[in-house]
Structure 1
């Protein structure tokens, strides 16, 4: 829950600012086109920053990465609240994105650290709730703050919220990275990998133990401390991955990852287009105020809540079904060897039907806007779109983490990178498309693109995916053996 709460900041910060754009432009004396650049640059950094911080988290640990993000984010929010001019706001929005955007990748990394593949679908559903609610709740919060307190209070509230989460993380959030704490049984060496609660608990336990030892042995407490320190066992060995700033980029060239990420970005672009088109369409068709337009996002938020839970339970059920069919032990608390397990089929058997429903609903959405129906119809449509688009998104997220268990944050960062780039392009294109051909045909074109790309994508992943995974594991095994051989040869040469 802590990781999911932190991940809420990335989508919330992106959307909470939208209702205030006209007011900010007026205050700084710039055009709406200029002020929209603060949104575009935010999305660019939202895609770029996790590529590097996610790789850092996979090697240095989740806690240091979280603390870095929180400090940068709070500093940027304070700067935005005090921004004297447009240029300062533009630069600080980039810094704000750099601080908030990686929290999504870090949350996926935490899920990969502590949850096995057998239960990962359900927990990624839990984790994605705040992430998917951010775009729905953000405009409501931002519209209310901008209308009653002024747009600068948006950033003060974000600073206060992040400060509370930072204190909670310092007090209670433990390190989860398997390269540092293994399965949780390895005591981290460095103090910054431990929460204040852990430090205090260990200190009290040590003092109590030493006091008892001193009483039983007749030693002074100082002598007992020295003896206990000398008897401390060495740290357990864990396999800690080396920091590779370009790990997320290297994942983009893996065949299965490249195919999945490209198609997932196409589908998620539909989500961005729906989000972006709502203010203009609903204000012109239904003559809603900024605050009322923000409330329209609530049905979408409800749909994302339902979709994340349904998809998570469906993914776990299908994983268990495949284990029973193949005679593989179903271990909920222990990660099993998945090299010969049809991960792609187990996940996509849930995702593909959900995708078909999502494409149909996006198509209907466009023509509902064209027909200018009663406002209740698009509200119901938004709820259904939230269910299906979130369900498919969670399916792909789960599969990507399953395919990259030792680099979950970097893999999620790659996913985030492709989505943000495609989303930025789609957000810029949807309004001209609607103005040119109308909302019905605009969304029909989007659905046609994702529908045509679906068959080759899923055929390749379902038929070639497991083979690609096995080949990669063989290459890794061969490299590890060669490295071990070189180490042995070096030791033998030194002895001679």
Structure 2
């Protein structure tokens, strides 16, 4: 058995300095004691670390976030707010264009000398293109990016609005309304995608609520603006107003709105092609890498994973013609198909209320265009408030369910949703609103049937708008949770 190193050192010291044996023995004892204490402390430290590891909360089983993992987005809070604002305003244009038109339906019917049924056909065709346009432009946005598709759609939209303001025939009205719908209807879906690009699951309710509130704002202010413009300036002023509004909006869109598509710029740190860059990109730091150098390998792995299930644009920048059938593949997924079916029912209810109001209120209460437009305020304000109230509620319930499951929530990095009970976090918020909305809809129909008081009809419209829009938002968040 070999001697301890302390004993050897003590022997050498004796030979050189001739120290007493007692000092040598004392030195040896201290050395051996220190060695034992070091071993004991190390054992206690290891046991303490094991106990701490046992006491730590459980994280997601796969792809759990860590300090070395890349950030979900490198955009700052201020940049994210700007992106959400631009996306929300883009989502506002389509419903605004639909509802601003309603108070002028009776006037258009008289001026163009067609029946109310024929004028209502322009609503039907507008909604048809609302459904068809996202299948083309949505796939195109996944291929070439969000920003170029926004610009292309709004250029088409402005041209259609100018044509609508100048036309004098029902045929031109019908065709140009289809073109107007095609140009802007996809912006609602793309705005939701932008929110998903820059927000993690734990904050998605809040940011998607803000984007959805922009869409609801169009419903809120559209009929009022349409009634005012039609009553005082004529129905043509409606389309001039829309063309000017979008033209002004495109200034910050073209100058400063960055590309957010994760298959194009990843988490925002990859410099995109020229057509994806804002004109002021050289004067900003949006595309600088804001992460530590030791996270670059993880970032590259993350980007490769993100792009593997989307467009191959980032892989040698290959592009393909948009395929509308790609969207239909989602129907093959049972969970997504069920959500889409429910959303279709909710959206039908929503449009039934707003499309029938001009005729019903004109017949029951004998209102003019301006009065009909003002009657949309309760329904529109409810539609605007619903996502703002639902967003924080969804995020709170997400954190509550995560805590019950023992999962740590990271607001800055992506987390796997494989073992997360997403339905428990989302559905309990939507279910009460669905029941309340259905009951209010039945009462609303009964009130109009018996020519009931206006106040009752408007209060019921508010309840329907609050519940129906809230359900619609929750289902949209769930679809994004399943897909992103």
Q: Does the pair score TM above 0.5?
A: yes
**Larger of the two Rg values belongs to structure:** 2
The Cα offsets for residues 431-455 of structure 1, whole Å up to 9 and x where unpaired, read as xxxxxxxxxxxxxxxxxxxxxxxxx
Q: Indicate which of 225, 229, 241 corresponds to 2:311.
A: 241
CA contact (8 A) 2:401 2:424 kept: no
Deviations 1:47-72 (A, max 9, x none): 10111100110121001110110111
- Counting only pairs closer than 5 Å after superposition, residues 346-495 of structure 1 correspond to structure 2 as 346-405=425-484
SS at match of 1:341: coil
- Which of residues 67, 92, 106 is equivalent to 1:22? 106
Distance, in Å, in 2 between the alignment partners of 1:304 and 1:18 is 17
Q: Are 1:196 and 2:279 an aligned pair?
A: yes
Q: In the alignment, which of 362, 374, 383 is matched to residue 283 of structure 1?
A: 362
Where do residues 254-265 of structure 1 align in structure 2 (5 Å cutoff)? 254-265=333-344
Deviation at 1:125, TM superposition (A): 1.1
Looking at structure 2, the residues matched to 95 and 299 of structure 1 have their Cα atoms a distance apart, in angstroms, of 30
Provide the residue aligned with 1:138 in structure 2.
Answer: 222
Distance 1:31 1:277, change over 3 A: closer
**Does residue 302 in structure 1 map to residue 386 in structure 2?**
no
Deviations 1:74-130 (A, max 9, x none): 111111111142222221111111001011011001011001110111111111112
| Alignment match, 2:247 | 163
Aligned equivalent of 2:147: 63
- Deviation readout 1:262-308 (Å, 9 max, x if unpaired): 12211332222222232222222222222111111101122123221
Compared CA separation, residues 368 and 47, structure 1 to 2 (3 A): same
Q: For 1:252, what is the secondary structure of its paired residue?
A: helix
SS at match of 2:267: coil
User: Matched residues in 2 for 1:85 and 1:390: separation?
Assistant: 35
Find the residue that maps to 2:477 and give its secondary structure: helix
Which secondary structure does the structure 2 equivalent of 1:196 belong to? coil
- C-alpha deviation, 1:202, in angstroms: 6.7
Where in structure 2 are there 5+ consecutive unaligned residues?
Answer: 1-84, 289-298, 313-319
Distance across 2 between alignment mates of 1:283 and 1:35: 15
From 65, 75, 79, give the equivalent of 2:159: 75
In the alignment, the residues of structure 1 paired with residue 204 and residue 445 of structure 2 have an alpha-carbon distance, to the nearest angstrom, of: 34
Is it true that 1:183 corresponds to 2:267 in the alignment? yes
For the residues of structure 2 that align with 1:25 and 1:367, how far apart are their CA atoms? 28
**Number of residue pairs the alignment of both structures matches:** 374
TM-score (norm 1): 0.72
SS of match in other structure, 1:109: helix
Equivalent position SS for 2:280: helix
Report what 2:294 is aligned to.
none
For residue 16 of structure 1, report the CA deviation from its aligned partner.
1.1
Tell me which stretches of 4 or more aligned residues in structure 1 moved more than 4 Å.
235-238
- 1:377-419 CA-to-partner distances (Å, cap 9, x unmatched) read 22222222221111111110100111111xxxxxxxxxxxxxx
| Residue 242 (structure 2) pairs with residue 172 (structure 1) | no
Change (3 A) 1:354 1:35: closer
